[in-house]
Structure 1
Amino acid sequence: MSNFQIFDRHSWGAIREARGITYAQLGELCGVHLKSVSKWFYGERTPSLHHTILLAKALGIPLNQVLKSVTDSDIRSAIRSIL
């Protein structure tokens, strides 16, 4: 499986701020502590695929938009199994 990243902390952070969603709220929606969320948005850690999908849903980012750049069939299968 190839290395890939669909979480974009800069653009997703701008969306988070524009929507007035706090790290604590995202943490609650994703089932993690707010410190985990802050580390994702500060670039100290990368959210798992599962948490990336939960973040997209919480921020109102359409999953088809998020996932359209994923071309690896194994990764697409993994994503489908999570959804």
Structure 2
Amino acid sequence: MSKLRKHDHTMDGSDWDLSLLSLKEVPVEDLKKNPMAKRIDLSNNALIKLPDSFTSLTHLVVLDLSKNRLTELPQSFGDLNRLTRLDLYDN
């Protein structure tokens, strides 16, 4: 069951605020419903890893993964060619 709330994203799906939801994994299936996502805030959760399928979000420009429990990123993360801002503070 998805923890996403109706107001967690903009109407066009380009901005997603998934911070402070105690997520243990990225809700990739929900995010894949709008592959045009440009900004995703996953800060202040309990993420320990990102799935390889996360890199299917090829329009991503800003990604905030701060304050999680990440120790590494998938090798395919380099495929996010449009990503210009990545916040990994306090992992």
How high is the TM-score relative to the length of structure 1? 0.28
Bigger-Rg structure (1/2): 1
Q: Which has the higher strand share?
A: 2
Q: Which has the higher helix share?
A: 1
Task: Specify which structure has the bigger relative contact order, considering alpha-carbon pairs within 8 angstroms and separated by 6 or more residues.
Answer: 1
